[in-house]
Every structure is written in structure tokens, then in C-alpha cells.
Structure 1
């Protein structure tokens, strides 16, 4: 599934981004000042900005980038430099968005590259053709785009893909190739493609661009629910959960309760929980779900480290403490997070050790087979849910590695605007350590890994059939 429109749908929600006059040039002096402010705010708010890159690497990278800046640059051109800095940091939750530029480009009828690509055993071919240009289907291997070798194009795009691991950057860049080409290059249609055809003959063609609507997947007119429950057969139920964010916690709790009542009533033995394409959210919603199928105490993370600043306290209380209760300071000691945060000195790290959560008694009565479907787009709190299942052996993970490191910086609650460009960016304020307490450099790996052309649900149904 192409991630292009899903990415943009998320970006359009972020209305807080201030709009800069898009034709007004920024001077080199203004850009350097904004870059210095960006780094200052990250250092101020982030628990450990030098975790993925040490300070020397940061300094060298920033010095080189500043020297290479032209005397003047368009706002979008400068945003690309800001984006490269945040991607270099390698923290998927500290980021900025090109929302204003994308919306303007689409509104003016801007065209996008007409196909996505895929890596086929070290060479790149066409993944999906979004145009009516049938000649594109004759491409066997892409050699170059606009005279630049395809390998170099992909490497350049990956410099502005904000995933934490190289294979994830590769996945996102190739699947959303039209979006990333627009995001990184100032190219306009037609595009020159050097390629090998089905017979291995070298050739060149020009391809026209397509409107953003051509890249959109056809949606059902009915609104898709965040959570869906489906009976697949007399012994198997499917719970599909798209995120832990777009509804209130009470919505999720009600869904879990209703679903497991049906599971009990129908004596379902196999439970499949689908968190593919999961956009993340509040990890507590995953804990609420875990209580219904866990056969032992569990937790979604072993500990959380928060960077405490006065501004962070204000944002945290606004998000998690009811307004009517914020005057009562004694209530800040009830919750483990607020207790740790408000007892920590400003500009230091608050550490929250997470206790094990007990499963519901009903989950211990009947032994069930639990399968959790994951993929390269299972992000943030969705990835934490997968880690919980993995580390406590609460079920079998089927699919592909998740879209986060197993322990990662998260909770981007601090938003800042740069002085001259007015670009906004968000900074991670916490470190979530996976349930096992291990901090490694891998994402959550499935117990049963499938290929790109396989379907995790179908694979799981085959596994269930084999166990009968």
C-alpha cells in the first residue's frame, strides 16, 4: 500500500504550522540564525539529542550544511535543509512537515511522478503505475531519472526520510516515490527515464506527471472505524486496530469489552489482532487491550525518561490533567508520571519505572491462541504493543519488522516556531524503553516473517488451519 496519501492526510491535521510568504527569499544570515535556534530548542527539550549522533558529528554536519547554503533560498528550499537536519538526528518523532507547500502545490494543479518503485534483488523496477501511460509497464529495470542514476536518487531521498533504520527509509522512499521526489527535488514533468526493457535493451522515455488525485487509493464512502471486530470462522476472530489515538480511551475500552464478550460467548479459540499500518498514539490503550488476552503480568515499557522543563510541565498538565483539577497540586502526586515529573528539578530527567500490569481474571480462564499482525508501518505505540507481546510471549507476531526501534524517543509534545522562516517543528520529550529493559538498535521483529508479496492475515489463517 502506498504511504503517500496516508502521510499527507496526517500532515493536513497539523494546522498549527504557520504559513510563511512562499515567494519571499530567505537570506543566508536568516537561515543560519534559524538553524541555530532549531538546535538550541532541541538541546533544551530533548532527553538526549546526541543519542544517535554524537556532538562532534552534529557540529561537523551543521558547519558543512551552513557553509553550503546559498546567499538566498526559497522558503521550501530552506525547509528541505531543516528537514535534512532533523532526519540526520535520526529520531522519528522529532520532525517538521511540508504541509503548507504541499497544499499550495496541489491547489495550483502541481504534477507528481507517475509511478512508485521497488528494489528487486539490488535493482529498481516499477512497483505501481498511477498513470494511463502504458509504456511505463515495459520498464524492466530503471537506470536513471532525469540523468541521475536511480541508486543515487534513492540515497538522496533517504536523507530526508525520517525513519530510524535504513531498511525502513528504503521502504518508505520506494513505496512513496512520487511524494519523496516532490519533497526533495525541484523537478517538473516531463521526467526522463533511462531503463532496460523486458529484453534487456537500453532505452529512454519521457513520462508525464499525474495529479495528486491519481495517487489516492479509492476509499469507501462509509467511514472506516478505528477499531473493527470480525468473525472469520467458528474458531477465529479478528480485531483490527488502526491507532491508539483518534478516539477517546473510553471508545477503545468499550470496543475491547464488547469484542471479548463475543469471543467468550462464541468460545473463540484463535484471536488475531491486526496492527498493520498502525499510526501510534497512547500506549495505555494497548495495555487496556493486553489485559484481555495476557496469561501473565506484563507492561508496554520497562521505564520512561522524561525531559522536564517548565514548558514541558505546562504542556503535560494540559494534556493529561483535567483543567478543573490543575489548581490542586496534591493531585499531581497520584499518577506515577506526574509524581516523577513534578518532583524532578527543571532541565533534568524524570524516570518512571513501570510496574507489571495484571491481566483480567477472565483472560486466565481459557487458553487461546493469539496472533498479532505487524508490518513496516506499525509505528510508535503500535510498535510498543508488539514489543509487549514479543517480550512476554503473549502471542505470535506475524508479518514484517515494525517502524520503530525497540526503544525509542517519543511524545513530541514540544512545538516551536523558527524566528525568520516561521517553520514549526516538534521535539521528542521522552525515551520509552522496551518491556525487557533492553535498549538495542533493531525494531520489533516478527516471529514469522513474510515477504512483501505475502499477506500476513492469510499466512496466519494457514497457520491456524495447520494446528487443527
Structure 2
């Protein structure tokens, strides 16, 4: 009888497993049909949306923000900006008042800039910045029909119709919490000297004016002075309807002059460094007999193998003579965590090192994903929890103060890096970071600090490093407008939001300053003139 029970139980289990497999296959086939994964190139046009459709699109978007977007509280707490949830009705009403698709696009774009106050990855897809049209798993995971990806071409045409952005020919820098003329600036009746402070714009104090830009551009947090700042002060066309800003200048002797600064039509690259197109992705130089220097512009996936060979050749040729190694990731906007894990961290470590990161994600994200979430974890190439690729030891659920267990899932992620392809190097490592050190480059700064690889020198990074999941895509139901969203709040050791504050340096150089210094070129004679590199050489 016992054998019969075991046999029946085995048969039941087999039937149950087979049923689950059939259900999963049926669901995948249904989704494939629903998303039209094998359809050809779809029409790119969009009809003029009705008032009802525009309202329903914004209801969908604001509901997503309310349920899943993880930064609303942090934006209020750390940036002291508007709570997006309190603006829900205002934006839904305004959506219904837009007179055409162009105005509707502008409103969605404006709302997306508010979302970007939480994370710099967030934004509207339009034109050529869309994801790959041939990534079927991407469609499936994001529950977006393939045809929707082609609609970004239409919204790109709409984006070209409005001009928010402008620039000024005044050379303005942010320094010690103030916006200062970096060079003298001439008006027909007055020449203002370098060092003149901009104390007001369009009838507002400068800091007040900066905060009004929260729906137009991403604001940075100056954590040292506990205030927001903008990297390019004159970048948003005046809302007054004029082609100029009315600016109050204060000279060093305390005199205040009010003048009109013309808003020029073409956008200017704010730039905080070298033009990467002038160089390969990685440049290695010997500063002197004791100091090696490596500049890395991006952690791009396509450069991993080539750059690995470059850095290995450079370090092996040094035969261990360097006492200092400078890793310059100023201006590095990110890419792949694998790049720095395999090319830098592991070859420099002398022993295994572990560190912990925390990630907070709203429970409704997982509820919305359903069965698509475990499928994503198994097949997506950019899954940040791939054990071997990203050196994940374990992922555990935990709790943290300030996060309701009813609303949030908190994950404790432990990573362990072991030495591999070691460099002949026993000196000190210095990592140079600035506000343009972003995304995966910010994650590198975090890993370097927590593995005690070396000292991070410079300014806070630009943040936005992720630990649990890469950004996802959503699409509005009627306009089919696509947005890139980040659903993860990455937290540092003090349970503060990395995406908003960035990673603090171990040694601060030019704190509360933007742009900071960069060498004029990557030739040794220019590198040694750079104040940050000079600091490393003499410490």
C-alpha cells in the first residue's frame, strides 16, 4: 500500500508540474500575441488624442507614480521640492486642457523632469533614444507591444516643436553656494569683473529661482551646504515671454546692478571635462616613476575586453614600480558594473572583500509584474543580481527604519569580489570623482570605498547607481508615449538615498563647486598641471 501511495504521489506531482508548464507556456504565447512580438515595422504616427484619452494617460502615469515610483518622500526630504503626489489632480486637469498632441507631449515631458529629481535615468523616449526594436524579452518584461517602440519617432517630431532650452554667453560657475562670473562680462554701459555674484534672477533670489526649475531640469544637491543647485544657471528659457533674463549682479564691493542677459537660441554643452571623442575610452599614462594614471571615459559594455587588455598591458609593463595609481572617472557617465568589477576591482585586490548594499522597492511593483518578474530574473542580460557576473553572494529581505513593511520590500545585497588577473601593484589607489560621475561609475565609487580599494578624491558623485534592478520602461495607454523609469531606491550605510545625494568622497577637493577642474589634455605636461592630480602626487 505504501508503494502505491508513493507511486500515486509521484504521478500527482508530475501532473502538477506539467500543468504549471502548460500554464506558463500558454501565458507566454498569449503575451506574445498580445504584444505582437513578431509584427513588422509598425506605423509611427499617432492621431490627435481626445481630452478623455489625455486625461486617462495622465491618470495612468500619476497612479504609477503613487504606487511604484520610490522617490517622492526623498525628494521632499532631501531636496525640499514639491511632493509629486500632491500635484496629481493639477496635472490630470492640465492634461485635459491641452489643445493638441504637441502641448500634451510638453506636459508629459515637464512631469518627467519632476520625476528626474529622484533619479537621472528617468525620462521620455523620443526619436533615436528608444531601446532596441528587436529585443523581444524587453517587450515581454515591460508588457509593451512592439509597435509602441516605433511611436517614439512621432514623439521625437513633437519634441522638436518646442524650445525650452537656451543659454547665455556669460561664463558662470557655482562656487561655495553662490553663482559667480568666472570671467568679466560686458554690457553696453557696464563691464562686470570676474567674481561678481548673481544674487537674483527675474525678481527672485537666485536660490529661489533655481528651485522653480524643478519641472524643467534636474537639480543637484549640495550635501555640504544642504541646498539645491543647477549645473548650468542660464539654461532654461525665461518664462516671462521675453528673450532675456533680468539679472541682479553684486560686485565685490557690495554694489548691485540689474541688467538684462540675452537668452541665446542654441543649447550649449555645459561640459565639466575633456571631450571623450578625442580619445580612446581608456587612456593610460605614466605621470612619473612613482605614479601611474588611467583615465576611463565610460564603463561601456563594448569596451570591456579591449580595455581589459589595455590596462593589463600597462600595469604589467610597470613591473610593480608604481607607488600610486590614479583612476580618473571624472565625467564617466556609467555603463556596466561588469566593466569595473573585472577590469579594475578584482585585479587590484589582494584578498577577497565583501560589502553590503540596501535597496528599497515598493511592493506594488512586484504585484504589477506578476509572473513576468521571475522570468526577467532568468533571461535579462542586465539583471543586476546575476550571481557570477556581479559577484552576488546573497540577497536577503530585511527591514529598515522609515520604510513600512506593508508598502516596501527591502533587500540586503551582499557582494564579494575575489582577486583575479592581479596587477603587479602594491601602492595606494586614488579614484577621482566629480558631479558627472554617474550611474555605474557612481556604483564603482561605492565599491571602491567599501572594499577599501583606495581613496575616493574630489566631489560627491552624480549618484544614480543601482544595486537590485536596472531601469524599466512603461508606456501610456493611448498616446503610447514611453518613459524610462527607475523603481529602486538605493541606500547607503546611513540609509540615505544614493540616487539623490550621490557618493561622498573620502577627501573633498573643490567642495560645493561646479564645474570643477580637469586637465586641458591627457598629455603628461597637462596632467601634472591639474590641481587634483597634483594633490595626489604630493600626498
**What's the TM-score once normalised by structure 1's chain length?**
0.70
Q: Are positions 1:72 and 2:133 aligned together?
A: no
Aligned residues: 422
Alignment-derived partner of residue 160 in structure 2: 104
- Aligned runs of 1:51-450 on 2, under 5 Å? 52=74, 59-66=85-92, 71-72=97-98, 74-87=103-116, 90-96=118-124, 100=156, 104=160, 112-115=167-170, 117-119=172-174, 123-127=178-182, 138=192, 140-162=196-218, 165=221, 167=223, 174-179=230-235, 181-182=236-237, 185=239, 187-196=241-250, 200-212=254-266, 215=269, 223-245=278-300, 247-264=302-319, 267-288=321-342, 289-298=344-353, 302=357, 309=369, 310-311=371-372, 319-320=380-381, 353-360=413-420, 362-363=422-423, 366-404=425-463, 411-412=470-471, 414-430=472-488, 439-441=495-497, 442-450=501-509
Q: Distance in 1 between matches of 2:50 and 2:200?
A: 32
8 Å contact kept, 1:93–1:409? no
- Runs of 5+ unmatched residues, structure 1: 1-17, 322-331, 342-347
Q: Distance in 2 between matches of 1:226 and 1:102?
A: 34
**What's the TM-score once normalised by structure 2's chain length?**
0.62
Q: Distance in 2 between matches of 1:378 and 1:127?
A: 23
Q: Distance in 2 between matches of 1:82 and 1:455?
A: 33
SS at match of 1:79: helix
Deviation at 1:317, TM superposition (A): 6.2
Deviations 1:4-23 (A, max 9, x none): xxxxxxxxxxxxxx98889x
Q: Distance in 1 between matches of 2:74 and 2:269?
A: 34
Q: Distance in 2 between matches of 1:171 and 1:241?
A: 30
Q: Distance in 1 between matches of 2:112 and 2:226?
A: 17
Deviation at 1:125, TM superposition (A): 3.2
Deviation at 1:376, TM superposition (A): 1.5
Q: Bigger radius of gyration, 1 or 2?
A: 2
The alpha-carbon distance between structure 1 residues 368 and 338, as it changes in their structure 2 partners (threshold 3 A), is: closer
Give me the CA root mean square deviation: 4.8
Deviation at 1:41, TM superposition (A): 4.3
SS at match of 1:247: helix
Q: Distance in 1 between matches of 2:167 and 2:533?
A: 38
8 Å contact kept, 1:144–1:194? yes
Q: Distance in 2 between matches of 1:124 and 1:315?
A: 46
- Runs of 5+ unmatched residues, structure 2: 1-42, 77-81, 128-155, 396-407, 519-526
Deviation at 1:448, TM superposition (A): 1.3
8 Å contact kept, 2:458–2:532? no
- Aligned runs of 1:447-466 on 2, under 5 Å? 447-451=506-510, 452=513, 455=517, 458-466=530-538
SS at match of 2:74: coil
Deviation at 1:380, TM superposition (A): 1.6
